[in-house]
């Protein structure tokens, strides 16, 4: 007759704790949806944090581009353009629904890490789409062209001139083009 061992080697107390911990970890990941998708998890691909659309053309980032409808039927452009490259570029034009945006100042160089900001307290440029007549909540096709970077096509939302956007439009026209930043 063979002597019996109190606990077979496969079922040691340490193995039971490890297996129990593994079950808990797998359960938590399964219940929260984390870990199952890895690099393809939907939460890893969220980039847009505002109503505005975003795009990249070469080294130029376009952030938070949207339009704010104005009482006269025009629309004000809200957007930020940032060139990440040491080589300069320039914004040569923007159209919305085929209508050219009136940009002030007329020449907008895109220098490294020097944002060109349309609308708001930090604005150094303005853009007006005359007679767009797009209702709030609709979308408008926007085409942005640059001197060197490829053009970009976006579908921007039109917001009402209320709440957060109540002061957008009618801003004073900037008198000078953006200057190079102190930190390059």
Per-residue pLDDT band at 76 (split at 50, 70, 90)? very high
| Token pair for 12 | 């040691």
Q: Give 59's contacts (C-beta < 8 A, 6+ positions apart).
A: 83, 84, 85, 87, 89, 149
What does the pLDDT average to over 141-161? 97
The pLDDT of residue 183 = 40
How far is the C-alpha of 110 from the C-alpha of 85, rounded, in Å? 9
Q: Give 170's contacts (C-beta < 8 A, 6+ positions apart).
A: 70, 76
Mean pLDDT of the chain: 82
The residue that leads in pLDDT, 121 or 125, is: 125
Per-residue pLDDT band at 181 (split at 50, 70, 90)? very low
Q: Quote the pTM value.
A: 0.68
Q: pLDDT tens digit string along 14-60?
A: 666 666 666 666 666 666 555 555 566 555 555 545 678 999 999 99
The pLDDT of residue 108 = 93
The pLDDT of residue 139 = 96
Contact 116, 124 (CB under 8 A): yes
State yes or no: pLDDT of 113 exceeds 50: yes
Burial annotation 121-136 (CB, 10 A radius, 16+ → b, else e): eebbbbbbbeebebee
SS3 call for 7: coil
State yes or no: pLDDT of 109 exceeds 60: yes
Locate tokens 């219940």: which residue?
31
Least confident of 38-47, 154-163, 175-184: 175-184
3-class SS string, 133-156: CCCCCCEEEEEEEECCCCCEEEEE
Percentage above 90 pLDDT, the chain: 60
Which candidate, 55, 68, 74, 47, places its Cα nearest to that of 144? 55
For strand 152-159 and strand 60-69, is the pairing parallel, antiparallel, or unpaired? parallel
């Amino acid at each position: 007759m063979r002597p019996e061992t109190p606990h077979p080697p496969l079922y040691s107390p340490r193995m039971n704790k490890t297996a129990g911990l593994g079950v808990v970890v797998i359960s938590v990941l399964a219940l929260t949806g984390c870990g199952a998708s890895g690099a393809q998890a939907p939460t890893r691909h969220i980039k847009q944090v505002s109503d505005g659309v975003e795009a990249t053309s070469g080294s130029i980032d376009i952030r938070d581009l949207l339009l704010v409808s104005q009482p006269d039927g025009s629309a004000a452009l809200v957007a930020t353009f940032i060139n990440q490259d040491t080589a300069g570029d320039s914004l040569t034009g923007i159209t919305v629904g085929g209508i050219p945006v009136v940009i002030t100042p007329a020449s907008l160089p895109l220098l490294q890490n020097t944002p060109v900001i349309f609308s708001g307290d930090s604005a150094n440029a303005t853009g007006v789409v005359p007679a767009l007549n797009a209702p709030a909540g609709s979308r408008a096709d926007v085409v942005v062209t640059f001197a060197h970077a490829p053009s970009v096509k976006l579908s921007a939302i039109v917001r009402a001139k209320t709440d957060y956007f109540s002061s957008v439009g009618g801003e004073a026209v900037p008198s000078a083009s953006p200057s190079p930043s102190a930190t390059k």
